[in-house]
């Protein structure tokens, strides 16, 4: 449902069905709503069967990259010599994204159940849920739910009498966007600075404490238990666009819409349905200027470009951006694109872990040049300088944070050149940035 709004007829509530219903938070409440049936069913299958079912469903990672989940699980070695680990990524810090928070605070058992299904499939006896430090209330809710899950037999030495051990530890972050990157997250769990690691080795080969590790997003894992319960065919049929994008997806919509919130729709739903029907469109007297569709790390789309854009991995790529995490930032005609792009660049400069030169220097200089332009001291050459910097920041670093800074900058310069020109020609000034 479009929490905090009632479910819109164009939504398909699977993951969000119990958002806003505090009764679903407890172990008993979750069981009453059909919870833990997916996990029980999974325990009656072989590991391989669970992986095959998830593969067949077409589920792809909801954390941003869209990597097929079943395939990721199948990379884990079959012979359990070293301990295997499952890490659940609940670091949700990508500007525009706030869907995992809703799963955590309303349906913590939905997540625990999904984590247990995933752990069983990859042969992991221990799960770490990495929750960002700022999610204080969600942390308390989750810790309580984990205790209940142990008491109810969904976790522990003998999960639901299957003889399988699955333990779950909640690990709290401490303020660092970069820890959402999977290898940085592993370092952070190990008690280190959150610097991303060079790949290979990939986590399935050498992850946490050099043991085989799989990392999945909150929404991905939550979906997995529904897939086991209802079957791959059911999930696969939830598809309105490209058959490579299946199931439902939570979209966090924020910014200048009348009803911001989390909406769950079938993959392939038109973006305009979401923005105008479900979210109620712009405020009175305002028109749509731009949408950043997949969290702040992806290229900006203009109002024209979102027409005919289908919300699935392929549909958004076709329009020149990415589905990413499903965090949509909607901007109306009151938005100062140059200022907001500077704010995003400042975000990445602040969050860079600083181990790659291109990223450390590139994010800082991008911010500084944009600030200079806003302060009325921009030069014509600055735009080429920004594009040149962006080129050097793309595809050249240990992780993609650097690319993520470049993407909105480059697309904004290409799609809204007149806004930059207005500052550079001094036709426009900003009271917010002074030299």
Partner 1 sequence: MSAGHSATEAHQPVFVGEVRQKLDALFPKYPTRQACLLPALWLVQEARGWISEGAIHEVAEVLSLTPAYVKGVVTFYTMYHTHPVGRHFIQVCTTSPCNICGAEDVAKAFLQHTGCGELGATSPDGRFTVIEVECLGACGFATPVLIDDDFIENVTPERVPGILQGYK
Ligand X SMILES: Cc1cc2nc3c(=O)[nH]c(=O)nc-3n(C[C@H](O)[C@H](O)[C@H](O)COP(=O)(O)O)c2cc1C
Q: Cβ closer to partner 1: 22 or 233?
A: 22
Contacts of residue 242, defined as CB under 8 A and 6 or more positions apart, other chains included, come to: 267, 268, 310, 312, 313, 314, 315
User: Which listed residue (131, 401, 409, 412) binds ligand SF4 by CB under 6 A?
Assistant: 401
Instruction: Select the binding partner of residue 134 from ligand X, ligand SF4, partner 1, none (C-beta < 5 to 8 A, by kind).
Output: partner 1
Euclidean distance between CA atoms 72 and 86, whole angstroms:
12
Euclidean distance between CA atoms 377 and 249, whole angstroms:
44
Q: Cβ closer to partner 1: 98 or 420?
A: 98
Q: How far is the CB of 261 from partner 1 (least distance, A)?
A: 5
User: Which listed residue (356, 407, 410, 412) binds ligand SF4 by CB under 6 A?
Assistant: 356
Give whole-number Cα distances, 237 to 233, 234, 246, 298, 379, in Å: 6, 5, 7, 28, 53
The end-to-end CA distance of the chain, in Å, is 46
Q: How far is the CB of 325 from ligand SF4 (least distance, A)?
A: 17
Binding mask 181-200 for ligand SF4 (x = CB under 6 A): ---------------x----
Q: Cβ closer to ligand SF4: 288 or 353?
A: 353
User: Which listed residue (360, 368, 372, 428) binds ligand SF4 by CB under 6 A?
Assistant: 360
Q: Cβ closer to ligand X: 67 or 75?
A: 67
Question: Which residues inside 121-180 make contact with ligand SF4, applying CB under 6 A?
Answer: 178
Q: Cβ closer to ligand SF4: 328 or 390?
A: 390
Give the binding range for ligand SF4 (CB under 6 A) out of 108-116, 225-233, 270-278, 399-407. 399-407
Q: Cβ closer to partner 1: 51 or 412?
A: 412
Q: Cβ closer to ligand X: 64 or 293?
A: 64
Instruction: Select the binding partner of residue 402 from ligand X, partner 1, ligand SF4, none (C-beta < 5 to 8 A, by kind).
Output: ligand SF4
User: Which listed residue (11, 53, 100, 113) binds partner 1 by CB under 8 A?
Assistant: 100
265 binds ligand SF4 (CB under 6 A): no
Q: How far is the CB of 351 from ligand SF4 (least distance, A)?
A: 7
373 binds ligand SF4 (CB under 6 A): no
Binding mask 313-352 for ligand SF4 (x = CB under 6 A): ---------------------------------------x
359 binds ligand SF4 (CB under 6 A): yes
User: With 0-12 CB in 10 A as exposed, 13-18 as middle and 19+ as buried, what is 362?
Assistant: buried
Ramachandran sector of residue 271 (left: φ over 0; alpha: ψ -120 to 50; beta: rest): alpha
User: Which listed residue (118, 194, 241, 247) binds partner 1 by CB under 8 A?
Assistant: 194
Q: Cβ closer to ligand SF4: 356 or 386?
A: 356
397 binds ligand SF4 (CB under 6 A): yes
Question: Contact positions toward ligand X, by CB under 6 A?
Answer: 61-65, 67, 89, 91-94, 178, 180-182, 215-217, 220, 399-401
Q: How many residues bind ligand SF4 (CB under 6 A)?
A: 14
252 binds ligand SF4 (CB under 6 A): no
Q: Cβ closer to ligand X: 180 or 299?
A: 180
Q: Cβ closer to partner 1: 261 or 268?
A: 261
User: With 0-12 CB in 10 A as exposed, 13-18 as middle and 19+ as buried, what is 33?
Assistant: middle
Residue 406 CB coordination number (10 Å): 28
Q: How far is the CB of 70 from partner 1 (least distance, A)?
A: 28
103 binds ligand SF4 (CB under 6 A): no
φ/ψ (deg, to 5) at 19: -60, 140
Binding site for ligand SF4 (CB under 6 A): 178, 196, 352-356, 359-360, 397-399, 401-402
């Amino acid at each position: 449902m479009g929490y905090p709004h009632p479910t819109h007829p164009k939504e398909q509530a699977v993951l969000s069905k119990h958002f806003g219903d505090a009764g679903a938070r407890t172990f008993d409440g979750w069981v009453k709503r059909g919870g833990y049936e997916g996990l029980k069913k999974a325990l009656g299958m072989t590991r391989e069967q669970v992986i095959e079912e998830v593969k067949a469903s077409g589920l792809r990672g909801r954390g941003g990259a869209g990597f097929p989940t079943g395939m990721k699980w199948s990379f884990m070695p079959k012979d359990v010599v070293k301990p295997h680990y499952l890490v659940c990524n609940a670091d949700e810090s990508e500007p525009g994204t706030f869907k995992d928070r809703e799963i955590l605070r309303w349906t913590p058992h939905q997540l625990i159940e999904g984590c247990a299904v995933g752990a069983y499939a990859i042969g992991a006896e221990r799960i770490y849920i990495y929750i960002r430090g700022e999610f204080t209330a969600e942390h308390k809710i989750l810790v309580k739910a984990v205790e209940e899950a142990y008491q109810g037999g969904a976790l522990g030495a003998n999960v639901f009498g299957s003889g399988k051990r699955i333990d779950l530890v909640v690990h709290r972050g401490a303020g660092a966007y970069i820890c959402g990157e999977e290898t940085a997250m592993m370092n952070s769990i190990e008690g280190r600075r959150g610097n991303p690691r060079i790949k290979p080795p990939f986590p399935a080969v050498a992850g946490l404490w050099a043991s085989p590790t799989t990392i999945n997003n909150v929404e991905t894992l939550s979906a997995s238990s529904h897939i086991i319960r209802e079957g791959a065919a059911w999930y696969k049929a939830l598809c309105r666009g490209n058959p490579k994008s299946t199931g439902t997806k939570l979209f966090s919509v924020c910014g200048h819409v009348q009803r911001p919130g989390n909406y769950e729709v079938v993959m392939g739903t038109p973006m305009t349905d979401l923005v105008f029907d479900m979210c109620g469109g712009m405020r009175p007297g305002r028109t749509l200027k731009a949408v950043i569709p997949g969290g702040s790390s992806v290229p900006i789309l203009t109002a024209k470009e979102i027409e005919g854009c289908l919300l699935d991995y392929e549909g958004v790529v076709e329009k020149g951006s990415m589905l990413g995490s499903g965090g949509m930032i909607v901007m109306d005609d009151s938005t100062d694109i140059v200022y907001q792009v500077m704010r995003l660049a400042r975000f990445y400069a602040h969050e860079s872990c600083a181990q790659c030169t291109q990223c450390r220097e590139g994010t800082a200089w991008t911010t500084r040049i944009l600030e200079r332009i806003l302060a009325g001291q921009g030069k014509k050459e600055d735009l080429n300088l920004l594009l040149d910097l962006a080129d050097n920041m793309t595809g050249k670093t240990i992780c993609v944070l650097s690319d993520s800074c470049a993407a909105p900058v480059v697309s904004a310069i290409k799609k809204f050149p007149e806004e930059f020109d207005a500052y550079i020609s001094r036709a426009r000034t900003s009271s917010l940035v002074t030299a």
